[in-house]
Amino acid sequence: MTPIEKLHAEKNGIEEKCRIQEKKLDDDFVYIKDNASSLILSGISTLLFPPKNTTKENGQQLAPSAETAGRNMSKSPALTLADYIAITKSMLPVVWGVLQPIIITWGIRKAKSVLSGLFSGKRIGVRG
């Protein structure tokens, strides 16, 4: 086999691997799109209620039963404070986008009430 034939064969192999990887990515995106709401709810519930390890009094972990062993294999480890901070930091733009119109509306109403109170009050000492 000549060097050019080797290069063509390698190129074809790489192109095939790229097509397979693109197909896998497309399938993953379709899955995420179809199951976005359940994935988000699952992530939020895991954040708010992390799985608890069952331990004995002396600190050793109890052997899981056959029923819980299958469930615990799919669960991720409990999140640390650094994880919560990272998640909070990444969600700040979203939270700010939601809170900004609420804060602006409240500020406008408050300013309107203060200004209307200043100009609608009785004037003392003015004779007309």
Tell me the pLDDT tens digit for each residue of 6-23: 999 999 999 999 999 999
How many structural domains is the chain composed of?
A: 2
Calculate mean pLDDT across residues 59-66.
Answer: 49
- Tell the residue number behind the tokens 């406008």, with chain if given: 108
Q: What is the pLDDT of residue 108?
A: 93
9 in a structural domain: yes
pLDDT value of residue 85: 79
Range of the domain at 110: 79-120
pLDDT of residue 88: 78
For residues 127 and 123, what is the distance between their CA atoms, to the nearest angstrom? 9
The residue that leads in pLDDT, 47 or 106, is 106
Look at residues 48, 64, 87 and tell me which one is the last residue of a structural domain.
48
Q: Distance between CA atoms of 9 and 1, rounded to whole angstroms? A: 10
End-to-end CA distance of the chain: 110
Residue 16 located in a structural domain? yes
Name the residue with tokens 């060097």.
3
Distance CA 80, CA 87 (A): 11
Q: Using CA atoms, how far apart are residues 1 and 30, in angstroms rounded to an integer?
A: 42
- pLDDT value of position 128: 47
Is 30 inside a domain boundary? yes
Q: Is 83 inside a domain boundary?
A: yes
Q: Is residue 54 part of a domain?
A: no
pLDDT (average), residues 76-93: 76
Global pTM value = 0.35
- Residue 55: both structure tokens together: 């331990």
**Angle, helix 3-34 to helix 36-48, in steps of 10 degrees:** 70
